[in-house]
Amino acid sequence: MKTAFLSWVLSTAFSALALGVGTDLVELDRGPHHRTWARVADLQTPAGLRPRTNVTVVELQGGLHRWDADQNRWVVSSPRIDLFQDGALVRGLQYAVIFAPNLATPGAIDLQLPDGQRLTGLGFPRLPSGLHL
């Protein structure tokens, strides 16, 4: 946990340094696991020159975006779980999941992968001692 937090702090600090704080950022590209940001920067050289240069930073995160067929583009993923009468539903990720109200029943988890394949019949069985997983 500490390592993940430290990694986030360092990446945020690097991004702020590279892109500059309070500057106009432009999103250049999106993909399933990345987003590319850019801005034009004035750099100070030892000779005192201030050449303009493009600064780009690639943001990486597993599952950052999902493909939206209606908008025909990558949109930001949303790990939101919606409850309904017959269980719970996750739709805002690269995959979709339907959870039954009782995970100990056969077929309690129905998973649809990004390529359209469905994995059904997943569930958590009761242990012989009567304990649940």
Q: Rounded distance, CA 66 to CA 30, Å?
A: 10
Task: Supply the range of the domain harboring residue 90.
Answer: 78-122
Q: Kindly state whether residues 9 and 61 are assigned to the same domain.
A: yes
Amino acid at 69: A
The per-residue pLDDT for 22 is 47
Residue 127 lies in a domain: no
* pLDDT above 70 for 17: no
Q: What's the confidence (pLDDT) of residue 9?
A: 42
Could you tell me if 7 and 55 lie in one domain?
yes
pLDDT in tens, 60-97: 999 999 999 899 999 999 989 999 998 999 989 999 99
pLDDT band of 98, cuts 50, 70, 90? very high
Same domain, 82 and 64: no
| Beta carbons of 38 and 28 less than 8 angstroms apart | yes
- Domain co-membership, 63 together with 82: no
pLDDT of residue 20: 52
Boundary-marking domain end, from 49, 68, 87? 68
Q: Within this chain, do residues 6 and 63 fall inside the same structural domain, yes or no?
A: yes
Given 68, 92, 111, which residue is the final one in a domain? 68
131 or 47, which is more confident: 47
Q: List, as one string, the DSSP characters of 46-108.
A: TTS---EEEEEEEEE-TT-EEEETTTTEEEE----EEEETTEEEE-SSSSEEEE-S-TTSTT-
Q: How many domains does the chain have?
A: 2
Do the Cβ atoms of 74 and 68 come closer than 8 Å? yes
